[in-house]
Structure 1
Amino acid sequence: MRIRKFFGAAAVFGSVLFATLSAAPAVEATPKTSVTLGMSIEPAGLDPTIAAPVAIGQVTWQNIFEGLTTIDRNGAVQPQLAESWEISEDGRTYTFKLRPGVTFHDGEVFDSSVAKFAIDRARGEDSVNPQKRYFQTIESVETPDPQTLVLKLREPTGSLLYWLAWPSSSMVGTKSADNNKTTPVGTGPFTFVNWSKGEKVELARNTNYWNKGEAAKLETAVFRFISEPQAQAAALKAGDIDGFPEFAAPELMESFEGDDRHVTVIGDTEMKVVAGMNNARKPFDDARVREALMMALDRNMIVEGAWSGYGTPIGSHYTSNDPGYVDLTGVYPYNPEKAKALLEEAGYGNGFTFIIKAPQMAYAQRTAQIMQAMFAQIGVTMNIETTEFPAKWVSDVFKASDYDMTIVAHAEPMDIDIYARDPYYFNYKNPSFNEVLGKVQQTTDPDEQAALYAEAQKILAQDVPALYLFVMPKLGVWDKKLRGLWENEPIPSNVLREVYWEE
């Protein structure tokens, strides 16, 4: 991570003003206790256990909702509502000791029966949990006493503690779960106050938070939704918002030079920008076509043109932050002539035409336009259809697989397993890949898991079920007196518990 601070010239006061202020009695400055943060995308709902868009968790995870475990700012799993756990030797029984004295914002007591309710809701037959598969190895949930929760598994699941930390695994109350989409109730350090659709979500400090030693320092917090990049910069400079943790205008980062109020932050994320292809639809069912399209793309030029040089090219669905990372950008390097030859071999010597459904976000639109020009050089015509995200994109692409190609930043950490899901919008099927991913869950040994992840990356790099483009960095701009925001993003979030204003 790199942090750059830009300072303007010092303000100069006239002698009369100086004398007036000097004569005035000293007034002790009152520290600010509120913050307003900007977000590019407004969530469609506020319950991360029933829908996939990451914007939901960016408002609610670790602010309103908490889990049995959590992920810290370094990406490590830590205890949360479960203060400790034991794992049986065969890896099939997890016994959690739950924290006493935890209540939901509506007063409901959190205990093992509520935890069982939340987990059964996530894994049940009628579950709409976006990560339902993470709960499928749970055979039974037992509650021997109010502070003890036992998960019996059908088979070892080496990533279980990590998965239980995700927003989709948040603990929800029996009384409030049905209404969490619009009026979320959790156990976290902030309570929900109001959601002005199209504008903002307001939170307030939870005065009854169970963890007194880590109670929120802020009294109130507001998330404002500003989609247009120029408007984001204008709101920052006008002081209408205190920070934009995920600033969507990389070309405007330098515009804060000389601004003594802000700090710019360039951190790591898990946001893998990929152009997914419908592997069940011609011509993308032919590996040679997919390989040709990959070789038609100059990833360095895409990063420069689409995101002002901020980003790292990738060759598989993986980031350098993750265990077992392998740089595979050399598997199908930029080679337009070889791409043309492959298309000829596949029977598309005269090229073909297709549509890319690109979300309205700046990175997707800019990347699609650059790809369009590069594909034209090998005789392939790509027409761009802007598709509203999240609603339209989720409906048409994610759920219905009604598309040729799309482009989106996959923000979930360690989500290489999406290529083993059936169904999933790529419509990619590879038993060998699935077998490797299955082996990952059979061990908790970090070295063994890393080696298996490396093998999985290589399979995807060779098969190219999606065009692997680049990892987006976390570009943040916020007030230089604001402390505690995460510089890096091991999981999509805006964790506010440690945020405060420097006096």
Structure 2
Amino acid sequence: MRSTGILGALSRRMLIGGAVVLGMAASFSTNALAAPKTGAVIGMAVEPGGLDPTIGAQVMIGQVTWQNIFEGLTTIDKAGKVQPQLAESWTISPDGLTYTFKLRQGVTFHNGVAFDSSVAKFTIDRARGADSANPQKRYFASIASVETPDPATLILTLSRPTGSLLYWLGWPASVMVEPKSAADNKVTPVGTGPFKFVNWAKGSKVDLAKNPDYWNKAVSVKLDTASFRFIGDPQAQAAALKAGDVDAFPEFGAPELVKSFEGDKKLSTVIGNTELKVVAGMNNTRKPFSDKKVRQALMMAVDRATVVEGAWSGYGTPIGSHYTPNDRGYKDLTGTWPYDAAKAKALLAEAGYPNGFSFTMKAPQMAYAQRSSQILQAMFAEIGVTMNIETTEFPAKWVADVLKAADYDMTIVAHAEPMDIDIYARDPYYFNYKNPAFNDLLAKVEATSDAAEQDKLYGEAQTILANDVPALFLFVMPKLGIWDAKLKGLWENEPIPSNVLTEVHWEE
């Protein structure tokens, strides 16, 4: 009952929510309306800070460029499976230490430069080098050497078995880049994909055009043009969709407005799965969050169902660890620290904080983060803890202050990477969480190719996090997609953050 009261109070504050000439003109208008559309305008809530996924961590970069402009040796399909791409095949030595890739021939970058093994070597060496700015540099850490015996062959020799290598090579951070243009990819990206970069009007949109020389003739790209428009305000997103100014919002940012589209025959509402894990990360080396009992008490003070209802209008799945129900080896650990304000307060007193404490939440401006923060603020107040909310601009300031400097008490963000439980083993990483036993489990996952054994290890890793609570595990966001009913081919689910346009087309 108490949590419902909190939600009710918060809801009121948060959710506002010549005849011949005329005849010719009419004929022209009718014919124009009948002509099939060859372009699409895709809406996004947050504009990326750059357009090169090999040097920037923001998922929005990949949502514009991955599989549209840039491609990798492998790729991840709509079912989340690894598929060949610029590498048409590969073999792995029995000891798991040598990967030999056969590269596709006849592939060229948008600037006309040929893709071959020397380009692949440049890309991988750039990503694993000492001065690498790659956001997933760890993906390449086990690569000891890169050899190019001929233009169509690439050999990677590893220092240790790495069971996830083929999957990691399909990621946005692993896309192939052309050496001469690589330095400028942040603003003028050049790739091998089905679309070429045309223009970036900062603060407004990114325009792409169909690549007439695309290598993959098995794919029939239907769109001649595509634009990504950036609209942060949820009401403006809804208005743009209803007015037809935007053809699709694959990740619609206002769940409370979803029902307003019911009965609209021009628009389709598609609710799918994502990997977006909303967690409230804590600085595990800063008091009082360095005390595990404090973190556990805060977790018990959180009614996840109320958070989902208040923050995302009931769309979402509560989680008890940094893992989604879509992922292999998933365990439901929401019962590890079930909601119990009285026990939370008692545990807090046991940790030496009978009168609670105060701290600051650095919350990005996105709706889910702001709303979740306000709900958490009210819940923590129930156990005597005062949480101040400091809105932190995302991505630039959040990346600088939280992700890079770890200068924060608590923050909240949706982690979009699939199977990214290993972030708690990274050093450094903004949680500042250190647990050798957890790190050992993640190392064992990579050391084996046995899927059943990997799933078991993933389960053990989830359990450690659920018990230690390095972050408050809240919920998985669904993919709330709203788009023109005649627009087909967009991914309904999101196994990897993306807006893949290869199969997008208009129904005739």
* Structure-1-length-normalised TM-score: 0.95
Correspondence for 1:109 among 83, 107, 114? 114
SS at match of 2:139: helix
Please list the CA deviations of residues 302-350 of structure 1 after superposition, one character each: whole Å capped at 9, or x if unmatched.
0001000000000000001111000000000001011001110010000
CA change 1:455–1:81 in 2 (3 A) is same
Contact 1:190–1:216 under 8 Å retained in 2:
no
Which one of 357, 364, 372 corresponds to residue 367 of structure 1? 372
The residue aligned with 1:468 is 473
User: Partner amino acid for 2:158?
Assistant: L
1:258-269 → structure 2 map (5 Å cutoff): 258-269=263-274
List per-residue Cα deviations over 1:427-463 (Å, max 9, x = no partner). Answer: 0000000000000001112111111100100000000
**Counterpart residue number, 1:307:** 312
| Secondary structure of the corresponding residue to residue 102 of structure 1 | coil
> Is 2:181 aligned against 1:169?
no
Partner of 2:460: 455
The separation in 1 between residues aligned to 2:337 and 2:223, in whole angstroms, is 49
| RMSD (Å) for aligned C-alpha atoms | 1.4
Partner in structure 1 of residue 497 of structure 2:
492
Cα offset, 1:212, TM superposition: 1.4
1:155 aligns with 2:157: no
Contact 1:275 1:408 in 2 (8 A): yes
1:42 to 38, 41, 47: 47
Q: Which amino acid aligns with 1:207?
A: P
Over 3 Å counting, the alpha-carbon distance change for 1:164 and 1:25 in structure 2 is: closer
Q: 3-state DSSP class of the match of 1:144?
A: strand
SS in structure 2 of the partner of residue 194 of structure 1: strand
Of 200, 205, 214, the match for 2:210: 205
Residue 246 (str. 1) matches residue 246 (str. 2): no
Distance 1:408 1:253 in 2: 22
Residue 65 of structure 1 is matched in structure 2 by 70
Question: Deviation at 1:213?
Answer: 1.8
1:249–1:103 CA distance, 2 compared to 1 (3 A): same
SS in 2 for 1:212: coil
Alpha-carbon displacement from aligned partner over 1:4-29 (angstroms, at most 9, x marks no partner):
xxxxxxxxxxxxxxxx999x998993
TM-score (norm 2): 0.94
Q: Which amino acid aligns with 1:497?
A: T
Alpha-carbon distance change, 240 to 430 in structure 1, aligned in 2, over 3 angstroms? same
Counterpart position of 1:182? 187
Of residues 36, 41, 44, the one that matches 1:31 is: 36
Q: 2 CA distance for matches of 1:361 and 1:492?
A: 17
- Partner amino acid for 1:121? R
CA distance in 2 between partners of 1:390 and 1:26 (Å): 45
Q: Secondary structure at the match of 1:441?
A: helix
Q: Which residue of 2 aligns with 1:270?
A: 275
Alignment gaps of 5+ in structure 2: 1-24
The partner residue of 2:345 within 340, 346, 349 is: 340
Aligned residue in 1 for 2:15: none
| Equivalent-residue separation in structure 2 for 1:468 and 1:256 (angstroms) | 31
Give, as a single letter, the amino acid of the residue that structure 2 aligns with 1:67: G
* CA deviation map 1:237-284 (0-9, x unaligned): 111100100000000000011211000010000000000000000000
CA–CA distance in structure 2, aligned partners of residues 318 and 379 of structure 1: 30
AA aligned opposite 1:417: D
Counterpart Cα distance in 2 of 1:321 and 1:280: 31
Number of aligned residue pairs: 483
1:323 and 2:328 aligned: yes
**Which residue of the partner structure matches residue 134 of structure 1?**
139
Q: Is the 8 A contact 1:209 1:215 kept in 2?
A: no
Please tell me the residue identity of whatever aligns with 2:212.
T
Partner secondary structure for residue 84 of structure 1:
strand
Shift of 1:164: 0.2
Work out the CA distance in 1 between the residues paired with 2:36 and 2:168. 38
| Aligned-partner Cα distance in 2 for 1:362–1:134 | 32
Deviation at 1:30, TM superposition (A): 2.0
Distance in 1 between the 2:220 and 2:464 partners?
Answer: 46
From the superposition, tell whether residues 108 and 462 of structure 1 become closer, same or farther in structure 2 (CA, over 3 Å). Answer: same
Letter matched to residue 270 of structure 2: V
Q: Work out the CA distance in 2 between the residues paired with 1:28 and 1:126.
A: 54
In the alignment, residue 440 of structure 1 is paired with which amino acid? Answer: V
SS of equivalent to 1:213 = coil
Contact persistence 1:47–1:180 (CA under 8 A): yes
8 Å CA contact 1:189, 1:215 repeated in 2? no
**Aligned residue number for residue 479 of structure 1:** 484
Aligned to 1:13: none
One-letter code aligned to 2:75: T
Q: In structure 2, how many angstroms separate the alpha carbons of the residues matched to 1:278 and 1:448?
A: 32
Change (3 A) 1:26 1:201: closer
The answer on 1:98 being equivalent to 2:103 is yes
Whether the 8 Å contact between 1:263 and 1:477 is mirrored in structure 2 is: yes
CA distance in 1, matches of 2:294, 2:31: 73
* Structure 1 residues 155-174: Cα deviation after superposition (integer angstroms, max 9, x where no partner): 00000000000000000001
Q: Tell me how far apart the structure 1 counterparts of residues 207 and 476 of structure 2 sit (CA, whole Å).
A: 31
Residues 194-215 of structure 1, C-alpha deviation per residue, up to 9 Å, x if partnerless? Answer: 0000000000000000011214
